[in-house]
Amino acid sequence: MDSQGFREAAATAIDDIASYYDNLDDRDVVSTVEPGYLRKLLPSEAPVEGEAWTDIHKDMEGKILPGITHWQHPGFHAFFPCATSYPSLLGELYSAALPAAAFNWICSPAVTELETIVLDWLAKVLGLPECYLSTGPTRGGGVIQGSASEAVLVAMVAARDKYLRETVPLDQFPEGSEAREDAIAHKRSKMVALATSATHSSTKKASIISAVRFHTIPVHADTGYSLTGPVLAKTLAELRARGLEPFFMTATLGTTDTCAVDDFAGIVSTLKSDPVHPAGTPGELWVHIDAAYAGSALVLPSVQEQVTISLIENFHSFNMNMHKWLLTNFDASCLFVRDRNWFIQALTINQAVYGNKASEGGLVTDYREWMIPLGRRFRSLKIWFVLRSYGVKGLQEYISRTLKLGEEFADSLKSRPDLFEILTGPSFTLTVFRVAGKEQGKSEEELNALTKAVCEKINASGRMWVTSTVLDGMFAIRLMTGVSTTEKEHVDRSWKILVEAAEEVLKA
Amino acid sequence: MDSQGFREAAATAIDDIASYYDNLDDRDVVSTVEPGYLRKLLPSEAPVEGEAWTDIHKDMEGKILPGITHWQHPGFHAFFPCATSYPSLLGELYSAALPAAAFNWICSPAVTELETIVLDWLAKVLGLPECYLSTGPTRGGGVIQGSASEAVLVAMVAARDKYLRETVPLDQFPEGSEAREDAIAHKRSKMVALATSATHSSTKKASIISAVRFHTIPVHADTGYSLTGPVLAKTLAELRARGLEPFFMTATLGTTDTCAVDDFAGIVSTLKSDPVHPAGTPGELWVHIDAAYAGSALVLPSVQEQVTISLIENFHSFNMNMHKWLLTNFDASCLFVRDRNWFIQALTINQAVYGNKASEGGLVTDYREWMIPLGRRFRSLKIWFVLRSYGVKGLQEYISRTLKLGEEFADSLKSRPDLFEILTGPSFTLTVFRVAGKEQGKSEEELNALTKAVCEKINASGRMWVTSTVLDGMFAIRLMTGVSTTEKEHVDRSWKILVEAAEEVLKA
């Protein structure tokens, strides 16, 4: 394919994409193919001779789109959103056209510099404390990771190494000695990472990868599924009584199941008065804030205040995924750290082939020292396009609009207490609910079965998709309204489908 | 931006991209901006009001492109290539238009199924043994990772957990017991991952992240910088004599510095006759093959034979990056494993919100259990487009053409023994050389200084870019010819620039 062929093929692709979005509501939300559908449609080997674009192109609609679940569909209320927008698409397009392994500054200075700049822009928009800016007093800054799972892994590895540096004294166990290896191995075997039962599974996965213990702190309805200071204090004491050493915790701003927010003020207060390693002293607990989804709502000053975001100056790292709820394509997981040296000390490896004057002079940021991979895509471009195209006001309007839809949906649920019981929310557009009937004496088993039946019925409509979860043994439906194409009319339609399904199920 | 605005903006972007490639040789290869150039050009905060596309668009050429190092430039001979092609760009475009957090099958069946199919296609094209196919007898298969660093980390974590399962007996140390935690911590503190001094730094980084020891096996010119069976046998014995337990090794097909290939036959033979944990028995050494760059050359049957690729049926995992030398955009790091359960056992975490019938029925692949992140882009689309657009023949022609350019360049070097000494190669288009003068009595220090001067001079031309390395203390220039835009005329031009620079430096 030459440049003329590309111009023509790309014109068809752009037309496909614009038409896809213009007519998205005509499609069913969830793919209905059977497992293995595609293998039946494709040859078992790559073609020997090259094929024409027209042949490849027609398979997009004919073979691929039937197997797509449409995350931008206005009836997509499942999980959290996986965002895109037209400006973001343009950013992805230029980014793909300018590939560079970009593992250090000279590999493409713009890739590094734009990342630092737009993450400072973003930190300001989200109201993060100054210590998370690259220009801040503590040498902090942001880096774009591929996913929140990578972000939490990087934070945990940095925390593990910081803790070991601070608690295995160099004078007693000299650098490079066998005694130090042994002391570290022994210490590491006692180290434990904490998360609550509502924390995303990525923290547990990070603990497996980085070879530390993992402890789950149960949270229940009584605290709104969020972690409080006293519960943390009790957990720390219990773990230490067992000879374990807590070194890391993920606290969440918007949990997966219910969008709960952990009690930042309570956590700060507990850690300041920690009897063993008070905050700010060697061996302190590293607190990572996972705001993967709900962090986007921080574009609203009212939300910044509501969740007391200023308190994260007491914590160590913070991540939010613009690719969830801020109109930017996956992958755009923005990770901020209060002191970039924590990352660099844990992850830097020098090899002669990467040597260059700018890096050696310390003039530039080499983001490979802030993450697992060496190479990286030009991901800041789409963020830059989104921030500029929408402007802060445009992002605020979008988030406000989707929050309002979530409230309206919850109001509808409340208007039919005969049919539904809200378990949590609305919180950041997410409401978690189940079929009503507890007061009429229905058992938990019956309620679970009825709610499951309603869930399956509405999903079978093709017009909407919700996912479910289990809260303290209660099967529940999660419904969120954060997708950019979702408007009032779609939420009203989903509500109507839901009411009909519940009435039918309860009648049966 | 509405769909009409997108159509118009995308048309300008497509025009930019086609023109960029048509005129790429008019630009200098490497960006010449100073560190910090971009902060001076951009505002310190995101705009409050949204901006028009025309304003954003004009900043691409005005502010971003000056900071780009052009990895597709025909004079780019540095590092390894970072690929793209028009079909790959189209794949990226559709992929960006269809975002889905695709962490399990139902999230978008096509994303999972196309990945399995194209990786089977690719495995066949590369001549990998059948055990690496999803349809193979050992339940193997491929998965697209973001980078080779992630691939080696996944392999190492799986190897670590396989080794612990096999060597910490469950009857003696029951699952979930404190005794088992302690036994594992103690065992892990003795476990060591191996790599040679020529292995890519990602293996060392993976050992840091996964908390195991790391041992470097020195390799030198006498074995062509590759690992041999006897050296491996000696290393294993020495480590065990120190009480350590080797469990993982990265062997390389095309090292970063010189494109050396480790001696697969020798490694197989050593491991089969290993006195402690012979291959195929519990506690065996996991061998991961890193073919990140040179793996692309396996599209040629002659290369498959030359490197004895069939022998990797004795190893455990294999990765190659289509995004280096096979016309596919970063990220397309293709990781293959002989038994997918090794990954799944190490990395699976279940959470209620991800439950669904297809996964629970075991009918489908959930790739989140094969990698670090949960969410993933639709990366198989670009691979599918590339394999179909070029066909196997097209890929073979491209690889053959670039290999030939590498040989021609090496022939040129050999034609001027008065100026140059080849240290290694040509190997997979890469030749490593330095300024001649050893025989005229120049010291190593002098040769290093002269070679460095030549390297800086040719890079200052703007017409070509090479990187350097240090081999056994010798400063050397690496020159590779794998970039898709590089033709005979460009290699000839680079040769001319090089000769002029060397003549000048030697005259001075």
CATH number for the domain including B238?
A: 3.40.640.10
**What are A31-57's pLDDT values in tens digits?**
999 999 999 999 999 999 999 999 999
What is this structure's pTM?
0.97
Q: What is the mean pLDDT of chain A?
A: 95
Closest chain A CA to residue B42: A117
Same domain, A5 and A144: no
Q: Is the dihedral of CA B313, B317, B323, B324 positive or negative?
A: negative
Confirm or reject contact between B469 and chain A (CB < 8 A): yes
Confirm or reject contact between B214 and chain A (CB < 8 A): no
Same domain, A396 and A349: no
What pLDDT, on a 0 to 100 scale, did the predictor assign at position B333? 98
What pLDDT, on a 0 to 100 scale, did the predictor assign at position B110? 96
A38 located within any domain: no
Same domain, A179 and A280: yes
In angstroms, what CA-CA distances link B502 with B437, B477, B479, B495, B499? Answer: 12, 12, 15, 10, 5
CATH number for the domain including A496?
A: 3.90.1150.170
Average pLDDT over residues A294-304: 98
**What are A480-506's pLDDT values in tens digits?**
999 999 999 999 999 999 999 999 999
Other Cβ atoms within 10 Å of B282 Cβ, number: 11
Distance to chain B for A423, nearest Cα, Å: 16
Per cent of chain A over pLDDT 70 is 98
In angstroms, what CA-CA distances link A362 with A357, A417, A492, A500, B62? Answer: 9, 63, 56, 64, 27
B299 located within any domain: yes
Average pLDDT over residues A289-293: 98
Quote the tokens at residue B240: 């065990």
Distance CA B111, CA B133 (A): 18
Distance CA A168, CA A170 (A): 6
Distance to chain B for A435, nearest Cα, Å: 18
What pLDDT, on a 0 to 100 scale, did the predictor assign at position A138? 83
Distance CA A247, CA A184 (A): 14
Same domain, A313 and A343: yes
Q: Is the dihedral of CA A162, A163, A164, A167 positive or negative?
A: positive
Crossing angle for the helix pair A109-125 and A380-414, to the nearest 10 degrees: 30
Residues 183-202 of A with CB under 8 A from B: 185-186, 188-189, 200-202
A451-486 burial: b if 16+ Cβ within 10 Å, else e: bbbbbebbbebebbbbbbbebeebbbbbbbbbbbeb
Same domain, A217 and A285: yes
Answer whether residue B148 shows pLDDT above 80: yes
Distance CA B338, CA B351 (A): 27
**What are A396-436's pLDDT values in tens digits?**
999 999 999 999 999 999 999 999 999 999 999 999 999 99
What pLDDT, on a 0 to 100 scale, did the predictor assign at position A361? 63
A64 located within any domain: no
Same domain, A73 and A153: no
Residues 345-374 of B with CB under 8 A from A: 346-347, 349-353, 355, 358, 363-364, 372-374
Same domain, A140 and A270: yes
B180 located within any domain: yes
Distance to chain A for B277, nearest Cα, Å: 24
Q: Strand runs (DSSP E) across B123-185, as ranges?
A: 141-145
Strands B141-145 and A191-196: unpaired
Give the three-class secondary structure for B323.
helix
Q: Give chain A's domain count.
A: 2
Helix H, strand E, coil C: the string for A223-289 is HCCCCCHHHHHHHHHHHHHCCCEEEEEEEEECCCCCCCECCHHHHHHHHHCCCCCCCCCCCCCEEEE
Instruction: Tell me which residue range forms the domain holding B190.
Output: 100-377
Angle at the Cα of B63 from the Cα atoms of B328 and B77, rounded to 5 degrees? 40
Distance CA A391, CA B265 (A): 60
Same domain, A117 and A265: yes
A5 located within any domain: yes
Confirm or reject contact between B256 and chain A (CB < 8 A): yes
A67 contacts in B (CB within 8 Å)?
108-111, 113-114
Confirm or reject contact between A478 and chain B (CB < 8 A): yes
Average pLDDT over residues B34-42: 97
CB A419 within 8 A of CB A506: yes
Do residue A391 and residue B47 have CB atoms under 8 angstroms apart?
yes
Answer whether residue B361 shows pLDDT above 70: no
Average pLDDT over residues B340-345: 94
Distance CA B193, CA B201 (A): 12
Distance CA A278, CA A283 (A): 8
A37 located within any domain: no
Sheet hosting strand B213-217, strand order edge to edge: B141-145, B333-337, B317-321, B286-290, B245-252, B191-196, B213-217
Same domain, A115 and A78: no
DSSP secondary structure letter of residue B261: B
Same domain, A314 and A212: yes
CB B482 within 8 A of CB B402: yes
Ranking A93-102, A127-136, A258-267, A356-365 by mean pLDDT, the lowest is: A356-365
Answer whether residue B145 shows pLDDT above 80: yes
Same domain, A194 and A156: yes
B447 located within any domain: no
Q: What is the mean pLDDT of chain B?
A: 95
Domain-terminating residue out of A320, A349, A377: A377
Do residue A68 and residue B381 have CB atoms under 8 angstroms apart?
no
Q: How many angstroms separate the first and last alpha carbons of chain B?
A: 60
Q: How confident is the model at residue A353 (pLDDT cuts 50, 70, 90)?
A: low
Domain-terminating residue out of A353, A377, A401: A377
Distance to chain A for B180, nearest Cα, Å: 11
B363 located within any domain: yes
Answer whether residue B360 shows pLDDT above 80: no
Higher pLDDT, A166 or B104: A166
What pLDDT, on a 0 to 100 scale, did the predictor assign at position B438? 85
Distance CA B41, CA A260 (A): 40
Do residue B85 and residue A110 have CB atoms under 8 angstroms apart?
no
Nearest CB to B393; choose among A48, A90, A363: A48
Ranking A129-138, A220-229, A231-240 by mean pLDDT, the lowest is: A129-138
Average pLDDT over residues B104-112: 92
Distance CA A183, CA B30 (A): 47
Ranking A137-146, A219-228, A384-393 by mean pLDDT, the lowest is: A137-146
What pLDDT, on a 0 to 100 scale, did the predictor assign at position A71? 97
Strands B474-479 and B467-471: antiparallel
Answer whether residue B32 shows pLDDT above 90: yes
Answer whether residue B353 shows pLDDT above 70: no
Average pLDDT over residues B186-196: 95
Same domain, A256 and A337: yes
What pLDDT, on a 0 to 100 scale, did the predictor assign at position B324? 98
Answer whether residue B356 shows pLDDT above 90: no
Quote the tokens at residue A504: 């039918």
